[in-house]
Amino acid sequence: MPGQSHDIGPLSQIPVGEGRNFLVGGTRVAVFLTHGGEVYATQPECPHRQGPLADGLMGGATIVCPLHERAYDLRTGEEMGAECRLTTYPARISEAGTIIVTI
């Protein structure tokens, strides 16, 4: 069953190199804007100990949990060098400059 796409508003609501939490179709999601202008969407909490990922440090397409410094690839959800994995959601920027997330 294909997911449903949701327009969550203008790209400008997320500062470059940061993440923000949104309620998308009834699901809490963290959405990140990289310095390269790409958007990624994941579950909002770190699977290790529930750290708030939107408050983490970004580098390229990597997010580092602010609680225990676990690093995840935003493209795949895979943790660098460990066993945890993030749930990821397709995200893109529309022609109108809004963020589209598919749940």
Structural domain boundaries in the chain:
5-102
- Span 5-102: which CATH code? 2.102.10.10
- What is the H or E stretch that residue 72 is in? strand 71-73
pLDDT in tens, 80-102: 988 889 999 999 999 999 999 99
List pLDDT tens digits, range 60-74: 999 999 999 999 999
Q: CA–CA separation, 32 vs 65, rounded Å?
A: 13
Cα 98 to Cα 13, 15, 17, 79, distances in angstroms: 10, 14, 17, 28
Strand order, beta sheet including 62-64 = 57-59, 62-64, 71-73
pLDDT tens digits, 8-54: 999 999 999 999 999 999 999 999 999 999 999 999 999 989 999 99
Look up the pTM and report it: 0.94
